[in-house]
Every structure is written in C-alpha cells, then in structure tokens.
C-alpha cells in the first residue's frame, strides 16, 4: 500500500490499537487545513472559515453515513478522545430523570468505560454490575437489564474480540427501559460492520485509532439530550448570555452537537477525519486481504511457539501474548524492549485493562501486536525471525 511510503523498511509498527499510522491523504488533508484555510469554525464569515464550516459539517455527515445512522435521529460531536466522550456523557447523565436504576459494564473493558462507570456509580449512588463477557465477546443476556444504563465496548483492545450479540443487546436494553452506550474505540477501523445501523443511545470513538488525527468523536441519539444535565460549558455553546444565565444553542436541532463542544475545536483534525473515512471506505479488497493474511500468519506462527502463550481465541488484527519468566528467564516487558531494539514496535503491560488482565486472570504483563493496513508481509517475517527461538 503506497499511502504509508514514508515508513522506513526497518520500522515495524505494531501498535495500531493505540494509534493507527496516518495514511498520506489524511496527512495531506490536515496540512491543507493549516496551509490553505486555517480558521475557526462556526464563528467567522471570511472564505477560509466558510471552507472550514463546510468541511467540518461534511465530516459530521460522513461519520453518520459510515455507521449507517440518520441525521434526524443522531448528531455527531467532537471531543478529545473516547475517554473524554464517555466521561462527558456519564458525568452529565441525569439517572433520576431517565429512570435508570443501575449501571452495567463488562469485565473486559478498557479503563475508559471501567473507571467512568465507577465514577457514575459513586456520583449517583446507584449499583454497578460487572458482567463477564463470553469467550466470543458477546454479553450474556440473562442478566437483569431492567432500567439499566449499559456501557460496553464493541471490540476489545486485548484481542479484538467483538460484541457479537450487539443487536440483541440493544433490543434487550431498550425493551427493559434502559440505555446503551458503546465504546467503539477499537471497532471503528477494523470492526465497523458490527456497529452499522445499531441504534445505540451513544457511540464514543477515537479518530486516532481509525487512521485519522488525534481526536474524539461522539455519535449521540437526539432524544438522549433530554437526560443530560449540561455541566461543562463555554464558548460556542450558547445563543445568548445574561449576567447570571445562558441559553444553550443545543436546544436547536441543527446545533445539537454544540452540547459537547465547548470552546474552540480541533478543526483541522476534524477535517482530516473526513479524509480518513473517505480513505477507509475507498480501501480495496486486496488491502483487507493483506491485513487478514498478515494477522492470520502472525497468529498461526505464535500458536506454534512453545513458550508463547497466546490470549486470542482466534486470529485478529490485535493479538496479545505473554511469556512466562519461569520458562524463558524474561518477561513480556523485556521481550518488548528486545523487539524494539530490532525496530519492532509493540505494546507491553496491561493496556489499561488492569481489572480483567491482572485481577481476574492474574496474567503476567502481556505483549500486544496490533496490526494495521500499513503492515507488509515482511513485517511479519521480521517478528517471526525475532521470536524463532521461543
Ligand atoms: C477499547 C478501548 N476503549 C477506550 C479506549 C480509550 O481511548 P482513548 O485513550 O483514545 O480515550 C481505548 C484505548 O486504547 C480502547 O482500546
């Protein structure tokens, strides 16, 4: 794939679950903003600002189209990242007004939903349940979902396992008078199909994990607004301000997104997210096949290694393993550093999933390979020769 030609042959980047590499068209879109129409959105009337407004609005539309959702039902706001979006929602959610009686999350969550659901439970004094996900990533539906606010990921950052029963979960949650918030951080790039047309109440994602610049996104159902008590306020959110009062712009349906966009936004990054979505949608079958071939090859190889313990139940762009110090004399952190010495960039530790990996599974620190469309078959060969003796 030519869009990552800036990569040196010696650089083997396998940390896409943290941040994808950005393809040339995305970098170009960001540079074009800075070089050609560097301006504020929403506020200015000169032509540069009009270009920014047009492109920012186009990105909002592209996000909805990417997910198969309709503008009459949803709006798109931009934030810093998934964590920020989830916290904005959970810290402003009026549980009493919404009739919510508890909050539910799952055991394999990233700290981002895991901690923010703890904070929600503390703030509201409502009980919090942590449901054990099935091995295939689905959430058991025999729990009591009545009037529950459910916050779960659509794909895990440990092994990419997906919320396979997301559609049934959505139905169950809504039939029981509850709300569903999806952490789509890992799903947007490589598992978007699972999210398509799912009428969740909100979907939070990180553009930096979907080949776009550093940016957060929130896709929010319009009727959720009635249950959000705005507490994070500032410029760009108001239609009028008096000495002790203000009127929020988000009451107007076409400005609903301002609910979460206080202050100046990352206009260039938003514009470049639009370019990333175009790029993702324009990928060829051969690009998808190349990614699949690479991660399948790596997974199959890792499974043959006697001293490598593979966490994944199935091949996936995200693969976690660990080495046991008693068997090898070193741990995954040491292995990660040794790979880094050879230009192979992986992640080690618990990847912000401390509860599940450390406290439930008692795994030693892990090492994660997370692949992307930029990876070449030669990258996998490099890993294979580096791990040949394990
Ligand atoms: C599944 C999952 N959820 C949430 C997050 C948090 O994303 P961010 O750090 O961009 O807020 C991550 C980050 O790795 C993740 O993998």
Tell me, what DSSP letter sits at residue 360?
A: I
Query: 3-state DSSP: the chain helix, strand, coil percent, rounded to 5?
Result: 45, 15, 40
Output the residue whose Cα is nearest ligand 1's atom 12.
185
Pairing state between β 347-349 and 366-370: antiparallel
CATH 3.90.1150.10 residue spans of the chain: 2-21+284-386
Residue 255 CA to residue 233 CA, distance in Å, equals: 15
Q: Ligand 1: which atom is nearest the Cα of residue 157?
A: 16
Handedness of CA 2, 37, 64, 353 (dihedral sign): positive
* Token pair in block for residue 184: 């789509």
Q: Ligand 1: which atom is nearest the Cα of residue 206?
A: 10
Task: Please give the distance, rounded to the nearest whole angstrom, from the Cα atom of residue 80 to the centre of ligand 1.
Answer: 11
Which pLDDT score, from 0 to 100, does residue 42 have?
86
Which pLDDT score, from 0 to 100, does residue 1 have?
82
User: Which of 112, 116, 159 to probe ligand 1 with, by most ligand atoms within 8 A of CB?
Assistant: 112
Residue 245 CA to residue 260 CA, distance in Å, equals: 18
* Token pair in block for residue 161: 């396992």
User: Which of 159, 185, 215 to probe ligand 1 with, by most ligand atoms within 8 A of CB?
Assistant: 185
Q: Ligand 1: which atom is nearest the Cα of residue 84?
A: 11
CA 84 to chain centre: 11
- Determine contact, residues 26/275, Cβ cutoff 8 Å: yes
Exposure class string for 274-286: b at 16+ Cβ within 10 A, else e: bbbbbbbeebeee
Burial class (CB in 10 A: 0-12, 13-18, 19+), 246: middle
For residue 263, CA distances in Å to 41, 236, 238, 248, 259 come to 11, 6, 11, 13, 11
User: Which of 154, 155, 352 to probe ligand 1 with, by most ligand atoms within 8 A of CB?
Assistant: 352
Which pLDDT score, from 0 to 100, does residue 58 have?
98
Do you know the residue count of the chain? 390
**Contact residues of ligand 1, CB 6 A cut-off:** 17-18, 81-83, 110, 112, 153, 157, 183, 185-186, 206
* Token pair in block for residue 294: 């690479």
Beta bridge partners of 75: 220
Task: Please give the distance, rounded to the nearest whole angstrom, from the Cα atom of residue 262 to the centre of ligand 1.
Answer: 22
Q: Ligand 1: which atom is nearest the Cα of residue 351?
A: 14
- Determine contact, residues 369/14, Cβ cutoff 8 Å: yes
Residue 151 CA to residue 203 CA, distance in Å, equals: 10
Q: Ligand 1: which atom is nearest the Cα of residue 83?
A: 11
Output the residue whose Cα is nearest ligand 1's atom 7.
82
Output the residue whose Cα is nearest ligand 1's atom 14.
18
Q: Ligand 1: which atom is nearest the Cα of residue 352?
A: 14
Output the residue whose Cα is nearest ligand 1's atom 10.
81
Give the H or E element holding residue 61: helix 47-67
Task: Please give the distance, rounded to the nearest whole angstrom, from the Cα atom of residue 350 to the centre of ligand 1.
Answer: 13
Residue 282 CA to residue 235 CA, distance in Å, equals: 36
Q: What is the pTM of this model?
A: 0.97
- Determine contact, residues 194/156, Cβ cutoff 8 Å: no
* Token pair in block for residue 155: 């794909």
Tell me how far apart the terminal alpha carbons of the chain are, to the nearest angstrom: 31
Burial class (CB in 10 A: 0-12, 13-18, 19+), 242: exposed
CA 251 to chain centre: 28
Fold entry, domain 2-21+284-386: 3.90.1150
Question: Which is nearest to 320 in space by CA: 335, 310, 332?
Answer: 310
Task: Please give the distance, rounded to the nearest whole angstrom, from the Cα atom of residue 185 to the centre of ligand 1.
Answer: 5
Strand residues in 112-190 grouped as ranges (E): 128-131, 148-153, 179-183
Q: Please state at what angle helix 47-67 crosses helix 24-36, rounded to 10 degrees.
A: 150
Residue 347 CA to residue 367 CA, distance in Å, equals: 6
Task: Please give the distance, rounded to the nearest whole angstrom, from the Cα atom of residue 50 to the centre of ligand 1.
Answer: 33
Residue 64 CA to residue 292 CA, distance in Å, equals: 26
Task: Please give the distance, rounded to the nearest whole angstrom, from the Cα atom of residue 232 to the centre of ligand 1.
Answer: 22
The reply to whether CATH 3.10.50.40 applies to domain 37-281 is no
Q: Is 67 left (phi over 0), alpha (psi -120 to 50) or beta?
A: alpha
Separate counts of helices (H) and strands (E) for the chain: 13, 15
CATH 3.40.640.10 residue spans of the chain: 37-281
Task: Please give the distance, rounded to the nearest whole angstrom, from the Cα atom of residue 19 to the centre of ligand 1.
Answer: 10
User: Which of 206, 208, 349, 357 to probe ligand 1 with, by most ligand atoms within 8 A of CB?
Assistant: 206
Mean pLDDT by 10 residues, the chain (390 residues): 94 98 98 97 91 97 98 98 98 98 98 98 98 96 96 98 98 98 98 97 98 98 96 92 96 96 96 98 98 98 97 97 96 97 97 96 98 98 96
Residue 68 CA to residue 89 CA, distance in Å, equals: 22
Task: Please give the distance, rounded to the nearest whole angstrom, from the Cα atom of residue 244 to the centre of ligand 1.
Answer: 38
């Amino acid at each position: 794939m030519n869009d990552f030609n800036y990569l040196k042959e010696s650089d083997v980047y396998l940390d896409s679950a943290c941040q994808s590499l950005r393809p040339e068209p995305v970098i170009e879109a960001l540079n074009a903003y800075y070089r050609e129409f560097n301006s504020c959105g929403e506020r200015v009337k000169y032509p540069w600002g009009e270009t920014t407004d047009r492109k920012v609005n186009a990105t909002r539309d592209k996000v909805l189209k990417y997910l198969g959702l309709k503008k009459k039902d949803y709006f798109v706001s931009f934030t810093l990242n998934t964590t920020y979006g989830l916290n904005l929602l959970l810290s402003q959610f009026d549980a009493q007004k919404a009739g919510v009686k508890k909050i539910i999350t799952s055991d394999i969550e990233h700290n981002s939903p895991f901690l923010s659901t703890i904070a929600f439970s503390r703030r509201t004094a409502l009980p919090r349940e942590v449901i054990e996900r099935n091995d295939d990533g689905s959430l058991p539906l025999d729990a009591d979902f009545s009037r529950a606010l459910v916050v779960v990921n659509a794909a895990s950052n440990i092994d990419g396992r997906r919320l396979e029963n997301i559609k049934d979960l959505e139905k169950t949650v809504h039939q029981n008078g509850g709300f569903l918030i999806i952490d789509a951080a890992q799903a947007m790039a490589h598992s978007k199909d699972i999210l398509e047309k799912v009428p969740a109440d909100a979907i939070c994602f990180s553009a930096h994990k979907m080949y776009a610049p550093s940016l957060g996104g929130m896709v929010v159902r319009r009727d959720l607004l009635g249950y959000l008590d705005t507490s994070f306020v500032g410029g760009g959110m108001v239609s009028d301000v008096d000495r002790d009062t203000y009127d929020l712009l988000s009451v107007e349906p076409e400005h609903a997104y301002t609910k979460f966009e206080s202050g100046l936004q990352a206009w260039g990054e938003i514009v470049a997210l639009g370019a990333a979505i175009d790029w993702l949608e324009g990928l060829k079958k051969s690009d998808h096949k190349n990614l699949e071939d690479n991660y399948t090859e790596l997974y199959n190889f890792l499974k043959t290694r006697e001293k490598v313990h593979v966490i994944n139940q199935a091949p996936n762009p995200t693969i976690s393993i660990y080495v046991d110090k008693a068997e090898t004399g070193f741990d995954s952190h040491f292995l990660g550093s040794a790979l880094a010495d050879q230009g192979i960039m992986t992640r080690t530790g618990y990847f912000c999933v401390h509860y599940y990996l450390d406290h439930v599974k008692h795994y030693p620190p892990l090492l994660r390979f997370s692949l992307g469309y930029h990876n070449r078959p030669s990258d996998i060969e490099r890993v294979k020769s580096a791990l040949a003796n394990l």
